[in-house]
Amino acid sequence: MTGFASKQGSGHGFVWGLELRGVNGKGLDLRLRLPDWIEGLEVEVRKRLNSALSRGNIQISLRVSSEGAEGAARLETGQLKAVLDAMTEIENEAMNKGLSLAPSTAADIVGLRGVLTTEAGDVDHAALRATILTDFDHALSDFRKMRDSEGQKLAEILDRQLSEVDSLVNEAANLAEMRAPQQQERLKTQLARVLDNADAVDEARIAQELAMIAVKADVTEEIDRLKAHIAAARELMGSKGAIGRKFDFLMQEFNREANTLCSKSGDAELTRVGLSLKTLIDQMREQVQNVE
């Protein structure tokens, strides 16, 4: 499910802006952009996200800046050396390819991340981290409320689609029952054809062929399993916690039974119902991808 929340805050000589964004995902993928100079912040944020969420591609962005005058600037010589070495390698490779690159200025290099840092002076990291985490908890709560609201709407859609599936399965069951006499006549015809050509055929082989004919014509098991899947889906929707992966697997089972129903129908009306089931199940599978 998608979600968004933001929070602005200040304290301990700093101001910050926090954003949480989430889109659909098969698992839980966390992508964090946090200041690495606030000790222990990322560990705590990851812990809280893993506890609160179980699915989705989640992006967290936190920008922190000083409220007052900036501290002393410091040149990170190790990072500078790494950047210059990389630039030299890039320029040499470009020359080998016959490319001409524009010259870089000192201002360009200083602007690269990590080359020039600003010392914050005496900062109470523990207090700053605690205050930011309090704001993060509020933002995470808003984020979850938005996802819960979307989840409620999604549940209503899935419930309606399940009712439609149930109706189609009942229609298939009625059609299968109505065609029973026709199927019996067809089976008798096929049985007579087998017996007419059974002079040199083993009796066990005849029995096997007849059993295969009967199995191929009977859709009772598929209908029963579809009804069982409907009951399982409703039970999942009524349960608490993450159900997305289980629901996704169940939709695969729905699709398998609908495919088998179509292949065994042998009847235009029953095939029509089976194809309608397949279409509806595909629509449900798309919605289930959004379920946590």
- What residues contact residue 108 under an 8 Å CB cut-off, 6+ apart? none
Burial class (CB in 10 A: 0-12, 13-18, 19+), 204: exposed
What pLDDT does 109 receive?
A: 82
Cα(252)–Cα(22) distance, integer angstroms: 25
Nearest by Cα to 51 from 144, 131, 132 = 144
Which two structure tokens, joined as six digits, stand for 169? 């399965």
pLDDT in tens, the chain (292 residues): 688 999 999 998 889 999 999 987 777 899 999 988 888 999 999 999 999 888 889 999 999 988 764 555 677 788 888 888 888 888 888 888 888 877 778 777 877 767 766 555 567 889 999 999 999 999 999 999 998 888 888 889 999 999 999 999 999 888 877 766 666 666 666 666 666 665 655 656 555 555 555 555 577 888 999 999 999 999 988 888 778 888 889 999 999 999 988 888 777 888 899 999 999 999 998 888 878 7
Three-state secondary-structure class, residue 62: strand
Cα(175)–Cα(230) distance, integer angstroms: 19
Cα angle 279-274-228, degrees, rounded to a multiple of 5: 95
* Side-by-side strand order, sheet with 56-66: 3-11, 14-23, 56-66, 28-33
Phi and psi of 14, rounded to 5°?
-135, 160
Burial string for 82-92 (b: 16+ CB within 10 Å, else e) reads ebeeeeeeeee
pTM higher than 0.85: no
Phi and psi of 17, rounded to 5°?
-130, 130
**Torsion angle of C-alpha atoms 222, 228, 234, 235, degrees rounded to 10:** -150
Phi and psi of 34, rounded to 5°?
-125, 150
Residue listed under structure tokens 């991808």: 289
Burial string for 25-44 (b: 16+ CB within 10 Å, else e) reads beebeeeeebbeebeebbee
